[in-house]
Amino acid sequence: MPLRIVNICQADADAAKYDMFHHPDPLVQKRALCLHMKALNFKHEAIAQVLGCNRGTVANYLDLYELSGYQGFMVAYNKPESALDAHWSRVEASFFEQPPRSVKEAAHRIKKLTGVDRSHSRIRAFLHRMGMKPLRTGQIPAKANVEEQQKFHDETLQPLLKQAKAGKCHVLFLDSAHFVLAAFIAIVWCFERVFVKTAPGRFRLNVIGAIHATSHQLTALYNTTYITATTVVELLENIAHKYADRPIHIILDNARYQHCQLVKEAALRLNITLVFLPPYSPNLNLIERLWKFVKAEVCAANYFPDAQTFQTAIIEFLNSLQSIPRKKELLSRLSHNFQLFQHAENLAA
């Protein structure tokens, strides 16, 4: 087939060479690349292969150039407006106040609110255009005091962290975790559904630890019995010895074995300031993210044949936190941005 001749002036060729990289519309970039390649005498088959289209599309682009000139050629197509766009603000306000739990529910509510009936695929596309996406809901304890959490975050937590960053004190987050030898269900990429064996017995590894707010160094104790006030005191003594150069502030929750007189007297003796979180505020305790990290990396979708293997895997993982790969991951996970609940919602219809 003879090569089609298209008269492309040098100015248009130069403009196309620039627009194929710099124009904000992807369609216009594609057309500019087509024109640039045609100016270099590429065959239509080669142009179509590069553009990821067929020869007919290349011919249509060149027809448009010959008919409308470069300016008309570079005007992007007009997308047809959706009838839903006229109701954008109403739907957005309704869904912000009460998020839908499914595309099916969204379609039903949109029809009831606007009278516009669309397929689920069209509704899904509309939700994406509005900036919505499916996200797993978080949890907030029913007894959590949102205002008290906000006050603690602004007036106590962030000022302490600012001092720690400036090197004026040590701030640590203390908590305990109880890892049970059982099947931890998780989402995995697979070709068919995967089943994880459930280990026999009910072995439990108790870990009480304190994570440093800036260095992310972990000080921890382990046992397979119970965490008690005596265990907390032992951990405080280890922390006092490890961070003796500056004042120490430990942020912790109101568990009885942490809030008792024995622990408070030990903290006073060791010159440690205990900073108790507002009740029901795990979202403000940085170490909770570490426990979640352990469950995701060690326990999720993993089978342990016996208690010793399970215990060793967790302890070795926690001991490796200062290795370069783990340290980089912790830097992201243990940022000083805390989840607050100004938009806590009840999704019940």
Q: Which ranges of the chain have pLDDT less than 70?
A: 1-3, 76-81, 201, 342-349
pLDDT in the model for residue 264 = 96
pLDDT in the model for residue 344 = 54
Residues 6+ apart with CB under 8 A from 330: 216, 290, 293, 321
pLDDT in the model for residue 349 = 44
pLDDT in the model for residue 347 = 47
Residues 6+ apart with CB under 8 A from 107: 117, 118, 119, 120, 123
Name the 3-class secondary structure at 300.
strand
Q: Tokens 């040098």 appear where? A: 10
The DSSP string of 152-181 is HIIIIIHHHHHHHHTTS-EEEEEEEEEEES
Long-range contacts of 158-161, Cβ-Cβ distance < 8 Å, separation of 24 or more: 158/336, 160/249, 160/251, 160/275, 161/213, 161/336
In the chain, the DSSP E strands lie at 170-180, 204-212, 218-223, 248-252, 272-276
pLDDT in the model for residue 244 = 93
